[in-house]
Amino acid sequence: MLTFKGGVHPPQLKEWSKEKSIERMPLPERVYVFLLNHAGNPAKPVVSVGDEVKTGQVIGEPEGFISAYLHSPVTGKVVELKKILHPIVGKPIEAIVIERTSEDEWVRLGTGNYEQMSKDEILDVIKKAGIVGLGGAMFPTHVKLSPPPEKRVDTLIINGAECEPVLTIDHRLMLERAEDILQGILIMMKVLGTEKAIVGVESNKMDAYQNLKKIFKGYPVDVALLKTKYPQGAEKQLIYAITKRRVPRGGLPMDVGIVVQNVGTCVAVKEAVVDGKPLVERGLTVSGDAVKNPKNLIVRIGTPVRDILEYCGGIDENTERVILGGPMMGIAITNLDIPIMKGTSGVTAFLPRKVQPQKPCIRCSECVQVCPMNLQPYLLYLLSSKRRYDEAVENGLMDCIECGSCTYTCPSKIEHVRYIKLAKTVYRATRRGRK
């Protein structure tokens, strides 16, 4: 089976939700839509307090090249524009607060037969739909599908690995929405001008692999079986596993002729271009040993985590951690009123676990063996902890994908990623100061 060098094998813990068909969660009473719901610049609000809005109506417009449209997830009234702690950037970011007043009254996009639409027309629909990468990075999809002329893309890779433990929403999409995934792929292939697409699926999802093979028969879309290993779904590792092409340090997939999209993004593209539906909701997994009734859900963007957990029966009173995402790369939160965003692939909650104290590094090189980026995590940790940030950068600090494989395997229980994230933040701030 196809794979990459390094990586780890944490418990999958997907049995809690992998057999749960996707449900549509009831509409929330109130949503909180961050103006920064994507990579790049925050959107500019185009509504004011007191405005009445319909589902799918534009409430934020992109500012700058890398930005995205925002749409109202419900039909209701704008009751507030307020700053809320953003779980990714770690500081308060303005959000549009909308109180639902009725069932959905839709504002849809203008669409047509995509086979008769030009590349630019399709891109315009994708842009106006506010679609971003739903695998977590939230990079605006219309930008990713617009490589510069000198970057010839010959292959579209679709990420169906879902290597993050606990999460199963992509698995369910590949079982339940394969036809929509296919249409999304064909639309993006037309935009990119590629004749080949490959969907990568891990071997722990054989039913999804076989279903895609059956649905895709007769189309220029292959399905590749990947070894179940973390982080198989990381972009550069996925590209190498499937094509054996290596993205250069500091480079992008388009530098080696590839664009990567998530299976959820494929569904969103189909819904925008074919159905005229902007990105106002997404699929996510709610699971973990502290969740009373794990589920795979379709949830409106901006729904508070508290509402989602309550719909799943609540969480155990002894819950230690609630995470946006999964246990390896997710973000722990302490305030359950934080809303989900376009890139939120899961809400997971866990009971207390035995935590061993951190000990000094013993230079065992276990972290080096498992690092999928061929870095020396122990050295990055040591340099970062001593605030030698320039040296850390020289040794590949900015190439770290923060997958946590090093921390997972470390016998000294060193939290390499925590130090690396902090070092990156300080280094970037220092560089801005120097300019």
Dump pLDDT digits (tens) for 260-310.
Answer: 999 999 999 999 999 999 999 999 999 999 999 999 999 999 999 999 999
Stated pTM of the model:
0.96
For the segment 200-215, the average pLDDT, to the nearest whole number, is 99
For the segment 104-115, the average pLDDT, to the nearest whole number, is 92
Q: Three-state secondary structure along the chain?
A: CECCCCCECCCCCCCCCCCCCEEECCCCCEEEEECCCCCCCCCEECCCCCCEECECCEEEECCCCCCCCEECCCCEEEEEEEEEECCCCCCEEEEEEEEECCCCCECCCCCCCHHHCCHHHHHHHHHHCCCECCCCCCCEHHHHCCCCCCCCCCEEEEEECCCCCCCCHHHHHHHHCHHHHHHHHHHHHHHHCCCEEEEEEEHHHHHHHHHHHHHCCCCCEEEEEECCCECCCCHHHHHHHHHCCCCCCCCCHHHHCEEEEEHHHHHHHHHHHCCCCCCCEEEEEEECCCECCCEEEEEECCCEHHHHHHHCCCECCCCCEEEECCCCCCEEECCCCCECCCCCCEEEEECCCCCCCCCCCCCCCHHHHHCCCCCCHHHHHHHHHCCCHHHHHHCCHHHCCCCCHHHHHCCCCCCHHHHHHHHHHHHHHHHHHHC
For the segment 177-191, the average pLDDT, to the nearest whole number, is 98
pLDDT tier, 103 (very low <50, low <70, confident <90, very high otherwise):
very high
pLDDT in tens, 371-394: 999 999 999 999 999 999 999 999
Examine the pLDDT at 27 and tell me if it is beyond 80.
Answer: yes
Examine the pLDDT at 435 and tell me if it is beyond 70.
Answer: no
For the segment 191-209, the average pLDDT, to the nearest whole number, is 98
Examine the pLDDT at 4 and tell me if it is beyond 90.
Answer: yes
Indicate the domain borders of the chain: 114-273, 366-434
For the segment 132-158, the average pLDDT, to the nearest whole number, is 96
**CATH code of the region 114-273:** 3.40.50.11540
pLDDT tier, 156 (very low <50, low <70, confident <90, very high otherwise):
very high
